[in-house]
Amino acid sequence: LGEQLPPAFFAASDSLAIGALRALQEAGISLPDRVSLISFNDTSLTKQVYPPLSSITVYTEEMGRAGMDILNKEVLHGRKIPSLTMLGTRLTLRESTLP
């Protein structure tokens, strides 16, 4: 990985983050002192590794529900009006990131 590391890595899933964590540890790169690591989904896996991973929770059921609402409006009512749907997320900070 060399000496030029970014300040943080963001993994698209918890399992990818665990793979990155292992690679960083095998390379002797300490978390969070040299680099931070954040995962996506916040499954129970994030608390079962060392250091425990900071993670972003995404509410996938709400995403699916919102998507179906939009699709129903288009299919059932013939509406194709552009819309913006915002759904909340939650960041849980653990030991893989600095405060």
- Total residues belonging to the chain: 99
- The pTM (predicted TM-score) of the whole model is 0.79
Q: Please give the pLDDT value at position 78.
A: 79
pLDDT, the chain, mean: 91
pLDDT beyond 60 at 1: no
Half-sphere exposure of 43 (CA within 13 A, CB side): 11
Which homologous superfamily is 8-59 in?
Response regulator (3.40.50.2300)
Cα–Cα distance, 36 to 94 (Å, whole number): 10
